[in-house]
Amino acid sequence: MQLTNRKVVVSNKVQSFAERLYLPAIAKGMVITASHLFKKSPTIHYPEQKRPIAPVYRGQHVLKRDDAGAERCTSCGMCAVACPAEAITMTSGERKKGEEHLYREEKYAATYEIDMLRCIFCGLCEEACPKEAIFLTDRLVDTQFERKDFVYGKDKLVEKMNERIDVTKRQTAAVLEFKKTLGLKHNELFDANKLNKGNH
């Protein structure tokens, strides 16, 4: 009686003497491996050679300064709100007299920390930022020995004026234009009329 039609006849043929010697099959296999001797290895010797990465690669963050050297970040907290991994924390400070060359607006980020182990490099902070202050760059986050060393503070995040980080690949004219679109969350929030009405 046959319950299903899944029965298969398995070949169970007895090996011939030549097959039991394995030699023809072995020769075949060895020709295959030998052919790999003449193939190009796809290895990239990492520190010396680098694989080209996409122009919009999302790597380690940078906090930009403006052309005069003042920090653009105003510690509004939009990035922290947008962050799905809750990797960003900050505290605000008020700009004192004489600090105008350091901070562009009256309020600034006294501390600004990104936990690189929490960060998923999605780029939402960059999208949320109304001040064009935070960008993801094509740099890789360094390896560390301890978890606490992965919490990057302002010392590592804010760009240095003598070695400015180029973000033009991410901040193209099209992107800038797009960010002005009304209806985007941060444009809505900072729309003066809506703010005064207080309907959010």
Partner 1 sequence: MTAFIIYKAIMCGAVFLLCLGAAAYATLWERKFAAFLQDRKGPSRAGWGGLLQPLADGVKMFMKEEIIPNVSNRSLFILGPSIFMVTAVITSSVIPWAKPVLINGVTYDLQITDINIGVIYLLGVASIGVYGIMIGGWASNNKFALLGAVRASSQMISYEIPMGIALIALIISSGGSLSLKEIVEGQDVGFANIVWQPLGFLIFFICALAETNRAPFDLPECETELVGGYHTEYSSMKLGLFLFAEYINMFISSAVMATMYFGGYNFPFAHELYAKLGLADGSVWISLIGFGALITKIFGFICLFMWIRWTLPRFRYDQLMNLGWKSLLPLSLLNLAITVAVEYFRGNIHF
| Binding status of residue 198 toward partner 1 by CB under 8 A | no
Of 27 and 140, which has the nearer Cβ to partner 1? 27
Of 13 and 45, which has the nearer Cβ to partner 1? 45
Of 22 and 190, which has the nearer Cβ to partner 1? 22
| Binding status of residue 13 toward partner 1 by CB under 8 A | no
User: What does the alpha-carbon distance between residue 2 and residue 121 come to, in Å, rounded to a whole number?
Assistant: 58
User: What does the alpha-carbon distance between residue 124 and residue 114 come to, in Å, rounded to a whole number?
Assistant: 13
Residues 6 or more apart whose CB falls under 8 angstroms from that of 122 comprise 58, 84, 85
Print the binding letters for residues 20-49 with partner 1: x by CB under 8 A, - otherwise.
xxx---x--xx-xxx-xx-xxxxx-x----
Tell the smallest beta-carbon distance from residue 46 to partner 1 (Å): 11
Stretch that binds partner 1, among 14-22, 108-116, 157-165, 173-181 (CB under 8 A): 14-22
Tell the smallest beta-carbon distance from residue 12 to partner 1 (Å): 16
Tell the smallest beta-carbon distance from residue 142 to partner 1 (Å): 20
Of 65, 59, 73, 75, the C-alpha closest to 121 is 59
Of 45 and 160, which has the nearer Cβ to partner 1? 45
Of 103, 122, 108, 50, the C-alpha closest to 74 is 108
The number of residues that bind partner 1 (CB under 8 A) is: 18
User: What does the alpha-carbon distance between residue 56 and residue 138 come to, in Å, rounded to a whole number?
Assistant: 8
What's the Cα-to-Cα distance from 120 to each of 19, 28, 116, rounded to whole Å?
55, 48, 8
Tell the smallest beta-carbon distance from residue 31 to partner 1 (Å): 9
Site for partner 1 in 44-73 (CB under 8 A): 45
Which residues sit opposite 89 in a β-bridge?
113
Q: Report the alpha-carbon angle 90-96-99, nearest 5.
A: 90
Contact residues for partner 1, defined by CB under 8 A = 17, 20-22, 26, 29-30, 32-34, 36-37, 39-43, 45
